[in-house]
């Protein structure tokens, strides 16, 4: 069975601070995908990143960066110089790439980020 744990339920930061959202996953698959999604109050999921389990390179996209550590089964997300518009619920998700249930996403419980001006 797959499992995604986001231990931080809610985080509040002051604008311009950096913040890291943690994600730890469990899977028996050797190949899998990891995702981060942003869900603003409107409810629509906004895709942020997909990472293949073979690719452990960290990635940076503007103020966003992701740290994939296969050895610790973690895929953490950092927002640098946070802004009020970053306030949302962020979900980490996992999917297998083969077999029954492939490409079904297992979501973590989400971390609600509040950026205070």
Residues forming contacts to other proteins in the complex (CB under 8 A) are: 37, 42-45, 47, 91, 101, 103-110
Q: Which residue has the tokens 């073979």?
A: 54
Q: How far apart are CA 4 and CA 77, in angstroms?
A: 14
Residues 6+ apart with CB under 8 A from 100: none
Considering beta carbons, is residue 22 or 80 the nearer one to other proteins? 22
CB of 21 to other proteins, least distance (A): 14
Question: 5: alpha, beta or left, given left = phi > 0 and alpha = psi -120 to 50?
Answer: beta
CB of 16 to other proteins, least distance (A): 27
Contact 81, 60 (CB under 8 A): no
Considering beta carbons, is residue 70 or 109 the nearer one to other proteins? 109
Considering beta carbons, is residue 47 or 54 the nearer one to other proteins? 47
CB of 56 to other proteins, least distance (A): 22
């Amino acid at each position: 069975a797959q499992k995604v744990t986001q231990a931080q339920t809610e985080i509040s930061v002051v604008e311009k601070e950096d913040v890291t959202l943690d994600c730890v996953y469990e899977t028996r698959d050797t190949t899998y995908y990891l995702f981060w999604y942003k869900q603003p109050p409107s409810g629509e999921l906004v895709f942020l990143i997909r990472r293949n389990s073979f690719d452990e390179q960290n990635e940076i996209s503007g103020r966003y960066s992701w740290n994939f550590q296969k050895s610790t089964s973690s895929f953490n997300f950092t927002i640098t110089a946070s802004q009020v518009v970053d306030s949302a619920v962020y979900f980490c998700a996992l999917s297998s790439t083969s077999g029954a249930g492939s490409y079904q996403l297992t979501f973590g419980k989400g971390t609600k980020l509040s950026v205070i001006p």
